[in-house]
Chain A
Amino acid sequence: MKFRFQRKYLSIPYVLFFLFFVICPIILIVVYAFTDKATGLFSFNNLIKFFSDSTNINVLVISLVYGLINTGLCLLIGYPIAYFLADKKINKSAILVTLFIMPMWINFVIRTGATRDLLTWIGLSGGSHPEVATIIGLVYNYLPFTILPLYTTMLKMDRSQIEAGADLGANPVQNFVKVIIPLTLPGIISGATMVFMPTISSYVISDILSEYNVVLFGSYIDLYFNQSDWNFGSFMALIMLLLILLSVVISRKFSNEEGGKKSIW
């Protein structure tokens, strides 16, 4: 039989990629999460271990709170910035956007190392204010991730609708709440998810900036992997996976119900 090239063969690399880098790791995590370290047999030991120590839950709550605060602050700061950047009258060229995105071009470990010195210099070192230092570092690192999706949705936003709203008698506040926010909702949601998810799992920023005083879930998982307790580490990774899945589902629901346009998540 002669080999005939079919279009579907083009998908082979993608399928392979999907298998090796998405499916396999998840299966491995699940397998490790539900096996006993000593015997290697199926067990719920890790589940029991996780929920029997309040520290584990506390670390999870700490991570969630940092995720929420970071997301909130990023949106609060990023929204107006994106709004003005998308306004052709104010930002005539794309240079300003580039400037805001530029920190992303530098490796974030190096950037965080520099932030550490900067914060010490202004008296907000991780030793004395670990929480504040961590939040500043997180916002600094994730701000571009909120600005970008907001900026793109705002570019596509039909500005005549805002004018129409004003013409029809809406005051600026009403106009903002009823016209601008609904129009930019897809951007808000994808911006929020792009910040929230990695924040929960990030740990290098909090480790360096808080001098290891703030322990996020990612760093907690790292501790167990480092001490060769892969099973418990995997179980916690699984929990984080489920949490992120939950946040994706929620944000999906939001973006489908309103706006109509689908966000990239």
Chain B
Amino acid sequence: MKNKYLPLLGLLPLCMLFSYSISFNQSIDKSVNKTKLQEVNKDFKGESLTIYNCQDYIDEELISEFEEAYNCHVNYYTYDTNETMYNQFTLQPEGTYDLICTSDYMIQRMVREQLVIPLNIKEDCPLYDEYASKPIRGKLQDMYADTNGDGIKDTSLDEYAAGYMWGTLGIIYDPNCSPTIQEDVRSWNVFWDENYKSLISIKNSMRDTFVVGLMHAYSGSPYSDVEDIALQAREAFLKEMEEATSQEEIDNARNKYNKVIQNLFDLVITQDNPTEVINLVKNELISLKKNIFGFEVDSGKNDIITGKIKMNLAWSGDAVYSIDCALEQQDKVLEYYVPEEGSNVWYDAWTMPKGANEELATLFIDFLSDPVNAQRNMEYIGYTSFIACDEVFDLVSSWYGISPFFEGSEYYGPYYDEESEEEVEGSIVMYNDKFYQCIADSCGNLPTDSNYFEEIEIDEEELAKPYDLSHIFGENISEGKSPIIYPYVDSENQLMCQYPDQDTLARCAVMNDFEEANEQVVIMWGQVKAYTNMLPYYLVLGATLTICIGFVSYYLIKKKKSMRNKRKLESLTK
């Protein structure tokens, strides 16, 4: 989502469009617009809404639909990284932007600096309130910021932000690059493994790389001498899970484990002197630098598809995209894994800066949270939406597998997709342990109705074990609908990447803003990036200087000589 050299990326969106429309498109274009948006009686003629969002982070058709629906004008601007956004945003006079989409830590910083205003989600964004996944929104609620400068973080981010997309940080890798890779990617150690020298790319992003260094340092790395807290916590967690008998005990174990990881993440801000932790990470990253292919901004997505690199540090959303593209373009399988020492879970959310057109801004948030719109948006971007509803679930299940039949859902028969120019197959459902494919658009008809459904045979081996998504969709989908997907064997990993399971989430912590320590981390990051063997450079510089000095002195001596000769000549002629 963060790219620097845009011109190079001209092809990416195209390829993205293609892959999504070809591989996934099952239902959307034909969906009847049964919007749940409330009627607003006010006319917004002449008013405008200025949105500042990350590149390629919205289906832009939705923007024009919003303009039409509310008779207003939308100015849409994009940025490449959160830092660019912050610089640009703080430069503009108050009221320039009405709505900004950015990452959790950046919202934290903006709340602390009192640049944003609170949202009244209950009243102004009822759809978000209703459809946002409760557990995921709960995580955002658990992030706090300090609003009055007393150093105590007492304001929940939920008061200032409405979640948009979320995901984890992990490794995307080529499962065929070595026989032991599946074992190796379970640990961040793989980045230091010399067997993979020059086959790994790391994000050229300070905060993400920091996570890798930090987790490695606290899991018995040979470059640091601190306690392997992350490993110990994991062992304790696994043991507790084994012994746990009730759901409550399991939940407790997960929470306890998550807390340990979270505390590790927060060391930089909770310690009075963060230098120690920062130096620890610095040593890790400098040793890491020797083993990797390089840092990447946006080239990693393509390089892993072409095979230039075999492993890449990636956000889950980008990983989903790469996995699709690789399969589409090169018929190549890629997989994603969140290493077991622990990693980062991130949330991108909408927030309103001071001086915003609050009414339109909240309406826009709600517009995006409308189930149908959220589904379209998620289909376009490919990241995991905050919105968890029937529509989104059906989309996900059509991407990755088969889900049990539910009477209230719509199912689609085969149709010709004009955009991808391909015939799209009808939806497949599971009903009474049998599989049925839809042959005509249906809503409310039972799969046994041969006018709409046809029984098909699906090999048991094609389907992986059922994946329960209730930890995300739980209370959000209709009663009676089962939040279980039977993923195809090939898609199981991608589904887990899109919606990580509870154990993965337990080892993922949010990364709070570095606050005062940020300056030190920036310096550390600069040192890591610039670290190299300086001897040849000083030698070349020394040699050049010596040659220059020699040349100049030779030139001066010669000049003096010729002057002397000239004078001699003059005195002779006199």
Contact = CB atoms under 8 A, between A and B. Distances in A.
Interface in A214-246: 214-215, 220, 223-229
A68 B295 contact: no
A223 B5 contact: no
B531 to A, nearest CB: 8
Given A62-B532, A68-B544, A110-B8, A227 B83 contact: yes
Contacts of A128: 198, 293
A126 B541 contact: no
B540 A211 contact: no
A127 B530 contact: no
A175 interface: no
B571 interface: no
Interface stretch (B54-62, B350-358, B504-512, B515-523): B515-523
A113 B5 contact: yes
A107 interface: yes
A125 interface: yes
Contacts of B41: none
Contacts, number: 98
Contacts of A53: 523, 527
Interface in B85-115: 86-87, 90
A208 B300 CA distance: 12
A55 B526 contact: yes
Given A109-B7, A120-B308, A212 B294 contact: yes
A204 B198 contact: no
B294 A210 contact: yes
A130 interface: yes
A224 B538 CA distance: 25
B534 interface: yes
A47 interface: no
A128 B198 CA distance: 7
A62 B532 CA distance: 10
B522 A223 contact: yes
A59 B204 CA distance: 18
A212 B295 CA distance: 5
A197 B399 CA distance: 53
B538 A130 contact: no
Contacts of A223: 522, 525-526, 529
Given A53-B527, A65-B541, A211 B8 contact: no
Contacts of B540: 65, 68-69
Nearest to B526: A223
Given A65-B537, A120-B308, A128-B198, A212 B204 contact: yes
Nearest to B540: A65
B245 interface: no
A11 B221 CA distance: 66
Interface in B385-440: none
Interface in A105-122: 107, 109-110, 113, 120
A64 B541 contact: yes
Contacts of B292: 127
Contacts of A113: 5, 7-8
Interface in A100-153: 107, 109-110, 113, 120, 125-128, 130
B39 to A, nearest CB: 43
A226 B204 contact: no
A225 B91 CA distance: 13
A113 B299 CA distance: 10
B206 interface: yes
Contacts of A214: 532
A226 B81 contact: yes
B388 to A, nearest CB: 34
B286 to A, nearest CB: 11
B530 A215 contact: yes
Nearest to B7: A109
A77 interface: no
B345 to A, nearest CB: 23
B296 interface: yes
Most B CB contacts (10 A, CB to CB) among A61, A64, A228 go to A228
B84 interface: yes
Contacts of B541: 61, 64-65, 68
Contacts of A127: 198, 292-294, 308-309
B544 A58 contact: no
A229 B86 CA distance: 12
Interface of A: 53, 55, 58-59, 61-62, 64-65, 68-69, 107, 109-110, 113, 120, 125-128, 130, 204, 208, 210-215, 220, 223-229
Interface of B: 5, 7-8, 81, 83-84, 86-87, 90, 198, 201, 204, 206, 289, 292-297, 299, 308-309, 518-519, 522-523, 525-527, 529-532, 534, 537-538, 540-541, 544
Given A211-B296, A223-B525, 8 more contacts: A53-B523, A65-B540, A68-B541, A113-B5, A127-B294, A128-B198, A224-B522, A226-B81
5 contacts: A62-B537, A126-B294, A215-B529, A220-B526, A228-B90
